[in-house]
């Protein structure tokens, strides 16, 4: 069935001016040197189509002109692209902060030195357990040791980094190992839950139960009191108040000040939205990035959505205007509806974990 924004032409040149852009999530390549079981991008080992540097330059220039202060440089594995340093330099020269999402296995002393020379760069390193589990999930023997070697090079070069772990049933028991890594490097370790993106879509049966999520939340809370920087990524309704993630707008700012550019040039609502043709606003090989951001029917549609009208638990949640329904891409993927409730909060409500007294009184719209 066609979506409301489809069939309206490539661009709509009337209407309100676009809001100021804040962040773009740019997948520099779909190639990766690892084969993670839950990769959101379904990255592949082997050569893939990458945008040429002149188009990357145009994207960066347009993004900067639209007000973007940051690029999340991801993939695939961004460092698997031979000219990734040129890509980083392009955004650096536009004065944008680079948040590099990488598996860390390709970080040598030389790479760390290069990164330390950029004006403003931070790294998010993926690591999902101790040696055995990590290598198994990454489908690459030796990946764990190479990632830890990369972390040591970053530390020696004075480059700041966080770590991200996707936690599900297979690696929950490795959380203490991850905690020790966070402690040893004195760096943030974020535990994210499995989302139905990319290869993660087929792993729903391996998601943590509500009880396991609460256990992990208590564990992180206790560890933080002891000085270890471990966090669990949860929407505010499910989080301790003093661990709610600050926000620059409702949810991540999707459609309002955030968008994704995929390695094939497709512009989407988020860099995690690959393999979702309904969410392609245009392609930078045919249309300038600034024009897609300003005039695409998809972005005009999403900017007009009112997150206060999100259905189910989100419509009654006191955090609604702050949270904005957490991840709207997840809602769309699961229900084909941007205004469907955030599945995790709905699950907790349906299982009786959310007291009625905390919710606003108006009845929730039935889930889609």
The answer for residues whose C-beta is within 8 angstroms of residue 182's C-beta and 6 or more apart is: 163, 188, 189, 228, 229, 230
Asked if 336 is part of the footprint of other proteins (rule: CB under 8 A), the reply reads no
Site for other proteins in 230-269 (CB under 8 A): 231, 233-236, 240-249, 251-252
Length of the chain: 368
Q: Are strands 280-283 and 121-126 parallel, antiparallel or unpaired?
A: unpaired
Asked if 74 is part of the footprint of other proteins (rule: CB under 8 A), the reply reads yes
Minimum separation from the CB atom of position 280 to other proteins (A): 19
Minimum separation from the CB atom of position 9 to other proteins (A): 31
Nearer to other proteins, 270 or 295 (CB): 270
Nearer to other proteins, 200 or 297 (CB): 200
Query: Rounded to an integer, what distance in angstroms lies between the CA atom of residue 88 and that of residue 91?
Result: 5
Site string for other proteins, 132-151 (x = CB under 8 A): --------------------
Asked if 358 is part of the footprint of other proteins (rule: CB under 8 A), the reply reads yes
Asked if 179 is part of the footprint of other proteins (rule: CB under 8 A), the reply reads yes
Asked if 271 is part of the footprint of other proteins (rule: CB under 8 A), the reply reads yes
Residue 291, Ramachandran bin (φ over 0: left; ψ between -120 and 50: alpha; else beta): alpha
Q: Are strands 97-102 and 121-126 parallel, antiparallel or unpaired?
A: parallel
Asked if 99 is part of the footprint of other proteins (rule: CB under 8 A), the reply reads yes
Q: Write the secondary structure of 244-278 as one string of H (helix), E (strand) and C (coil).
A: CCCCCCCCCCECCCEEEECCCCEEECCCCCCCCHH
Pick the closest to residue 318 from 352, 351, 345, 338 (CA basis): 345
Find the binder of other proteins among 109, 215, 275, 291 (CB under 8 A): 215
Q: Which two tokens stand for residue 24?
A: 């773009």
Asked if 353 is part of the footprint of other proteins (rule: CB under 8 A), the reply reads yes
Nearer to other proteins, 134 or 297 (CB): 134
Site string for other proteins, 29-68 (x = CB under 8 A): -----------x----------------------------
Minimum separation from the CB atom of position 330 to other proteins (A): 6
Query: Rounded to an integer, what distance in angstroms lies between the CA atom of residue 267 and that of residue 272?
Result: 11
Minimum separation from the CB atom of position 260 to other proteins (A): 10
């Amino acid at each position: 069935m066609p979506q409301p924004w489809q069939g309206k032409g490539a661009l709509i040149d009337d209407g309100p001016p676009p809001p100021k852009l804040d962040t773009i999530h740019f997948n520099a390549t779909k190639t990766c040197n690892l084969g993670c079981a839950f990769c959101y991008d379904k990255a592949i080992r082997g050569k893939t189509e990458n945008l040429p540097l002149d188009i990357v330059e145009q994207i960066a220039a347009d993004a900067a002109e639209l007000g973007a202060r940051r690029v999340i440089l991801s993939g695939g594995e961004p460092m698997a692209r031979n000219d990734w340093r040129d890509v980083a330099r392009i955004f650096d020269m536009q004065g944008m902060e680079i948040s590099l999402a990488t598996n860390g296995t390709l970080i040598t002393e030389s790479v760390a030195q290069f990164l330390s020379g950029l004006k403003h760069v931070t790294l998010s390193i993926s690591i999902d357990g101790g040696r055995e589990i990590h290598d198994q999930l990454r489908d690459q023997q030796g990946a764990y040791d190479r990632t830890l070697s990369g972390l040591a090079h970053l530390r020696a070069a004075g480059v700041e980094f966080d770590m991200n772990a996707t936690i599900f049933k297979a690696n929950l028991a490795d959380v203490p190992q991850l905690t020790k890594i966070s402690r040893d490097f004195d760096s943030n370790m974020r535990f994210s839950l499995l989302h139905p993106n990319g290869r993660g879509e087929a792993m729903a049966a391996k998601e943590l139960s509500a009880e396991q999520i609460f256990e992990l939340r208590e564990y992180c809370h206790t560890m933080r009191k002891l000085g270890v920087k471990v966090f669990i990524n949860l929407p505010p309704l499910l989080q301790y108040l003093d661990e709610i993630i600050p926000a620059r707008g409702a949810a991540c700012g999707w459609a309002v000040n955030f968008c994704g550019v995929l390695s094939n040039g497709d512009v989407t609502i988020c860099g995690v939205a690959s393999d979702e043709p309904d969410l392609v606003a245009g392609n930078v090989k045919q249309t300038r990035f600034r024009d897609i951001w300003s005039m695409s029917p998809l972005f005009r549609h999403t900017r007009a959505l009112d997150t206060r009208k999100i259905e189910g638990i989100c419509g009654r949640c006191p955090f609604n205007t702050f949270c904005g329904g957490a991840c709207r891409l997840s809602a769309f993927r699961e229900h084909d509806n941007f205004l469907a409730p955030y599945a995790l909060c709905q699950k907790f409500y349906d299982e009786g974990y959310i007291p009625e007294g905390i919710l606003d009184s108006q009845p929730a719209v039935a889930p889609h």
